[in-house]
Amino acid sequence: MANTKYDGKHLSTTQRIKIEKGLLDGESLASIARKITKHPSTVAKEIKKYRYFPERESLARKLPCLLKK
């Protein structure tokens, strides 16, 4: 991962939805982080911050157009 460049900015709504989709699909934090070009610790912090919001699952399922690779 030495050549991976992280943009250092906050997460967008699309990235947050992709995190939720990755979690629903059973992906690891590292693979989710690679897809959204963020550090794995950023993904972990996001999950920890929003882990008590079950309505986010329904949001991820309602927006399939944002989840395509």
Q: What is the CATH number of the domain that holds 32?
A: 1.10.10
On whether residue 2 sits in a domain, the answer given is: no
Q: What is the pLDDT of residues 16-29, one digit of tens each?
A: 999 989 988 899 99
CA distances from 26 to 13, 29, 31, 41 (A): 20, 9, 10, 17
Contact of 34 with 69, CB cutoff 8 Å: no
Domain count for the chain: 1
In a domain, 16, yes or no: yes
- Overall average pLDDT of the 1-27 stretch: 79
pLDDT above 80 for 4? no
Domain that holds residue 39: 10-50
| Residue 35 placed within a domain | yes
The residue-averaged pLDDT of 21-47 equals 91
Residue 25 lies in a domain: yes
